[in-house]
Amino acid sequence: MSKPLRVGLIGLGTVASGVAQILLRHRDRTRERAGRDVEITRVAVRDLSKSRDVEIPSDILTTDAMSVATAADVDVVIELIGGISPAKELVEAALNHGKDVVTANKALLCEHGDTLFALARETGRCIAFEAAVAGGCPIIAAMSQSMTGNQITSLAAILNGTSNFILTQMLHNDASYDDAVQEAQECGYAEADPSMDVKGTDAAQKLGILTQLAFGERISPDQFPVQGIDELELEDLHFADELGYAVKLLATAKLVNGHLELHTQPTLIRKERPLAQVDGPYNMIEITGDAVGKAWFSAMGAGQMATASAVVADIIDVAVGRAAITFPHLNLWQTEEKFQLQKSEDIERRYYFRFHVEDRPHVIADIADVLGRNGISLSSVMQKEAQIESPKAGEPPVVPLVFMTHNATEGQLRAAAIELDSLDCVQPPWLCLPVSDDQA
Amino acid sequence: MSKPLRVGLIGLGTVASGVAQILLRHRDRTRERAGRDVEITRVAVRDLSKSRDVEIPSDILTTDAMSVATAADVDVVIELIGGISPAKELVEAALNHGKDVVTANKALLCEHGDTLFALARETGRCIAFEAAVAGGCPIIAAMSQSMTGNQITSLAAILNGTSNFILTQMLHNDASYDDAVQEAQECGYAEADPSMDVKGTDAAQKLGILTQLAFGERISPDQFPVQGIDELELEDLHFADELGYAVKLLATAKLVNGHLELHTQPTLIRKERPLAQVDGPYNMIEITGDAVGKAWFSAMGAGQMATASAVVADIIDVAVGRAAITFPHLNLWQTEEKFQLQKSEDIERRYYFRFHVEDRPHVIADIADVLGRNGISLSSVMQKEAQIESPKAGEPPVVPLVFMTHNATEGQLRAAAIELDSLDCVQPPWLCLPVSDDQA
């Protein structure tokens, strides 16, 4: 039996406590799978006096995170504090001190992955990050090992469990967006400030990481369309449902005519597709490879133990030496350009438009005229009888109006948007979502 | 760059041709991911003169498979001929000659895995077998690496793409079982003799392999209930549908009160569950782990390129050295007993019964009496008006009769079956299927 693997935990929040629980309560099982003991030797916390649901001996607790990152009795540093700084400095220090690193920090990897991965290669260490994307779905292992016989041609994924929980609650419980967010917070799925989740940032960062693995390209979220679920009304989910679609916050990266097309947006997905059927705080990744065809991976996308499970798998991969082999072959964050990013304005899709309009003559004509002059052709129109009350007495009632379009480019859409904003008959805000017509 | 990995292919059928295509047509991409060249140096075929859809230089073709298994210029032997003999002798020879082995042969692993894995450990080689279970789903990698932070508590899986294709065709096209089998044969999903697929043997063998990985127990298909889809009528799929269920050939291994319960049977699954929604020649594995909760993996379960993709991933794992690390930690086919197999007669589930009965008084009472006296309690009864014609003129018409039961044991079921067989009012054959009430 080899020497024990000595683990330094940085952070002891929800996920880290889960990791500690598994390692402490299942020591024998972990030893069997790792081929050696896995011991927690140091733990950095913010507050020594805080009570926790896992028992850590007080003599290995410290508030000095850097001392854990650089400690002589630590072989692998588990960074679970999130955010960019001081996480970046701690990971750099760990690598420079000859430690391997396990992290669940997608923001850090998305923004500074290139620097950190280069440093790991220089120092001959590895960074394992299964837990950074899609919680309990082993998507990093799948892409970096199991799909190596393929060129991946498409990724379509639900990568934010919080948003998916909110959308599910809205539709199933006839709840408003605000009520659903509150419920997500009460269930522990959403932070007090849910912006990173509901505005699509979190999913877009994860898509950035997967895009690196699948296509070898470093693309940051400001280079492609990112739209959150916070613009959606409950009625949009109902309209989509009537039209045969579910609305999911869909992160997409795919090859289209040799160009790489990326976007992370609430998207109408045909109900028959597996992606449309994922409810609650779950994630699903649909991968298409040129050999395997389509494959699906689904599991809890957030939550203490699902993410802890991924972190522990990474720790065991480090312990048995698999991570040291896998990491150098990932070719992550290297800069041979192979696929050119499709310009946002050239991305071509169908769209769903929802307006609240005054219930008076010529409104449909006015809007259709704007769309038509911008080259956007309608495939269907749905107008419901007035349910929404007029905002002001004496004014005509307001009704929802839904258009589905044929293929149009994002550029055409943006040009039309400027005109739509200035139409008197349209109550702001109106909504436009892309439609995915990919088949299951 | 390391020395090339020299590959000896045994077999050049559908899957092997797919493997050769990937290795020959995507040499650069394979080199990048394997960290070295991967070269096919020898290929054993049955018939040298047969024309093929992949170009193999004639000087590396041979009909002498053993010469490939033992060749000095082969590092890894890819066994793709299937069946027990001579596959077993070839794999043994390869291991004894210092080769690693990649195989897709579930029958061989299920029956002789213990011997072969022991030999591989003795000779310091590895056996990689991702392609042996569930085609394009990387379930072996998921269980042996990504789930290592968990004790797996349950596996429920659609492992036979052919059966799933047949069941889908029957329900969606209102096709008889025989017509659907014929279509599966025409599409290349079923063999001329489809017995291994439709009788559940193939799925049961795969379940045996997964059970080894998940629970460390070697259990052969003759130790648990195995039932094929060949007893089903189209009407059963319709009745199940009306009751809110899909029928799938479900392979299950789960811990119930510390015992390991296994079965592979056409099973009624609630329509909301992901497993119920898998159509066509696809596989899905639903795993429950004590940390991660439920996770799903789905992809094509058969077919040339999906399986070839898994074989190539294994070859690359051998090339980079990952397989050599993973294999010794699998603890496969070792015999420390931890979980006792639940005796078949004690397995407790709900059941679906379908009879064709004479449409005359007291028939329901007679059947219900048999079930009741054997401790089987009914939860619902569905009798349709007569559609089936009387088999003989002058006799009463025959109608289908469906019972759903509360929980009952397999032992109670078997006792009842003997009495049911002797009831005059019941036309043979009648059908009984288990119902899975697990939630999504």
pLDDT at A178: 96
**Residue A29 near chain B (CB below 8 Å):** yes
Q: Which amino acid makes up residue B298?
A: S
Contact A149 B22 (CB under 8 A): yes
In the predicted model, is pLDDT for residue B15 greater than 70?
yes
- Let me know whether B68 and B195 are in one domain: no
The pLDDT of residue B391 is: 59
* B337 falls within a domain: no
* In contact, B370 and B423? CB cutoff 8 Å: yes
pLDDT digits 0-9 by tens, A288-310: 999 999 999 999 987 899 999 99
A325 and A375 inside one domain: no
For residue B336, being part of any structural domain is answered with no
Rg, Å, chain A Cα set: 24
Q: Please tell me what DSSP assigns to residue B297.
A: E
Cβ pair B136:A305 closer than 8 A = no
Identify the band that residue B64 occupies on the pLDDT scale cut at 50, 70 and 90: very high
Q: In this structure, are A66 and A145 located in the same domain?
A: no
pLDDT range class, residue B440, cuts 50, 70, 90? low
The DSSP bridge pattern shows strands A245-256 and A100-103 to be unpaired
Question: How far is A199 from B171, CA to CA, in rounded Å?
Answer: 42
Is B106 known to sit in a ligand binding site? Answer: yes
- Whether residues A69 and A197 share a domain: the answer is no
Whether residue B335 is contained in a domain is answered as no
Query: Cis peptide before A138, with omega less than 30 degrees from 0?
Result: no
Tell me, what's the pLDDT at A191?
A: 87
Same domain, B273 and B193: yes
ipTM beyond 0.90? yes
Q: Do A309 and B322 touch (CB under 8 A)?
A: no
How close, in Å, is residue A362 to chain B by CA atoms? 44
Tally of structural domains, chain A: 3
Domain assignment present for residue A338? The answer is: no
Instruction: Please indicate, yes or no, whether residues A185 and A82 belong to a single structural domain of this protein.
Output: no
A109 and A43 both lie in a single domain = yes
Predicted confidence at residue B335, as pLDDT, reads 56
Q: Is residue A340 part of a domain?
A: no
Closest Cα in chain A to B285: A297
Q: Which pLDDT tens digit goes with each residue over B23-50?
A: 999 999 999 999 999 999 999 999 998 8
Residue B350 has a CB neighbour count (10 Å cut-off) of 18
Active-site pick, B99, B199, B206, B254: B206
pLDDT of residue A336: 61
- Going from the C-alpha of B336 to that of each of A22, B110, B155, B215, B326, the distances in angstroms are 23, 18, 21, 11, 20
CATH code where residue A129 lies: 3.40.50.720
Torsion of CA B389, B392, B394, B395, to 10 degrees: -70
Structure tokens at B89: 């002798």
Query: Does residue A169 lie within any of the structural domains?
Result: yes
CATH code at A277? 3.30.360.10
Residue A337 falls within a domain, yes or no? no
Smallest CA-to-CA distance from A163 within A311, A285, A309, A302 is with A302
The pLDDT of B212-234, averaged and rounded, is: 94
Q: Quick one: pLDDT at residue A50?
A: 87
Residues 6+ apart with CB under 8 A from B122: none
* Residue linked to tokens 């009625």: A235
> Is the CB of residue B345 less than 8 Å from the CB of residue B411?
yes
Cβ B158 vs Cβ B436: under 8 Å = no
Cβ <8 Å between B311 and A18 = no
Residue A206 designated active-site? yes
Mind telling me how many Å the CA of A378 is from chain B's nearest CA?
Answer: 32
pLDDT digits (tens, 9 = 90+) for A247-288: 999 999 999 998 999 999 999 999 999 999 999 999 999 999
Q: Which structural domain, as residue segments, surrounds residue B242?
A: 139-300
Residues of chain A contacting residue B130, judged by C-beta atoms under 8 Å apart? 146
CB B149 within 8 A of CB B292: yes
Q: How far is CA B352 from CA B169, B250, B380, B409, B432, in A?
A: 21, 15, 10, 13, 6
Q: Which chain B residues contact residue A22 at CB under 8 A?
A: 149, 291
Yes or no, beta carbons of B294 and A300 under 8 Å apart: yes
* Cross-chain CB nearest to A145 (options B137, B150, B322): B322
Q: What is the CATH number of the domain that holds B383?
A: 3.30.70.260
Smallest CA–CA distance from A146 into chain B, residue:
B313
Listed in sequence order, the residues at least 6 apart from A278 whose beta carbon sits closer than 8 Å to its beta carbon are: A158, A164, A248, A284, A298
Q: How far apart are the first and last CA of chain B?
A: 48
Determine whether the interchain pair B291/A309 forms a contact, defined as Cβ–Cβ distance below 8 Å: yes
Structure tokens at B14: 């559908």
Cβ distance A292 to B274 less than 8 Å, yes or no, reads no
Task: Say which residue the tokens 């055409």 belong to.
Answer: A412
Which of helix, strand or coil describes residue A365? helix
Same domain? For A92 and A51 the reply is yes
Name the active-site residue from A206, A294, A338, A384: A206
Residues A380 and A282 in one domain: no
A87 part of contact set with chain B, CB < 8 Å: no
A295 touches chain B (CB under 8 A): yes
- With beta carbons less than 8 A apart as the criterion, state whether B34 and B5 touch: yes
- Across A359-425, where does the E strand assignment appear? 378-383, 398-405, 408-409
Structure-token pair, residue B233: 């009528």
Nearest to B37 by CA among B315, B231, B304, B282: B315
> Token pair of B182, please?
């014929």
What residues of chain A lie within 8 A of the CB of B284, using their CB?
A: 296
Residue B372 tokens read as 């009741």
Chain B positions in Cβ-Cβ contact with residue A149 (cut-off 8 Å): 22, 30, 308-313, 316
Put simply, the chain B residues between 304 and 363 with a CB less than 8 A from any chain A CB are 305-306, 308-313, 316-317, 320-322, 325-326, 328-329, 331
pLDDT score at A333: 62
- From B286's Cα to the closest Cα of chain A, the distance in A is 9
Mean residue pLDDT of chain A comes to 93
Neighbouring CB atoms inside 10 A of B14's CB total: 16
Looking at the structure, tell me whether residues B131 and B198 fall in a common domain. Answer: no
Residue partners of B57: CB distance under 8 A and separation at least 6: none
Q: ∠ CA A359-A365-A369 to the nearest 5 degrees?
A: 140
CA distance B305 to B308: 5
* Average pLDDT score over residue span A211-233: 94
Nearest to B159 by CA among B194, B128, B185, B197: B197
Q: How many CA atoms lie within 13 A of B209 on its CB side?
A: 31
Q: How confident is the model at residue A317 (pLDDT cuts 50, 70, 90)?
A: very high
Cβ contact B291–A305 (<8 Å): yes
Maximum C-alpha span of chain A: 83
Q: Is there a binding annotation on residue A191?
A: yes
| Same domain as A427, residue A350 | yes
User: What percentage of residues in chain B have a pLDDT greater than 70?
Assistant: 96
Span A184-202, average pLDDT: 93
SS (H, E, C) B209-220: HHHHHHHCCCCC
Mean pLDDT of A93-102: 98
User: Residue B333: its pLDDT value, please?
Assistant: 62
At B296, the pLDDT band (50, 70, 90 cuts) reads: very high
Question: Nearest C-alpha of chain B: how many angstroms from A140?
Answer: 10
Query: What pLDDT does residue A348 have?
Result: 96
CB B41 within 8 A of CB B6: yes
- Residue whose entry in the numeric block shows the structure tokens 């009798």: B383
User: How does residue A3 score in pLDDT terms, banded at 50, 70 and 90?
Assistant: very high
Is residue A388 very low, low, confident or very high in pLDDT (cuts 50, 70, 90)?
low
**Rounded CA Rg of chain B:** 24
| Residues B181, B312 within the same domain | no
Given a contact cutoff of 8 angstroms between Cβ atoms, the answer to whether A83 and A105 are in contact is yes
* B338 falls within a domain: no
The rounded distance, in Å, linking the Cα atoms of B425 and B422 is: 9
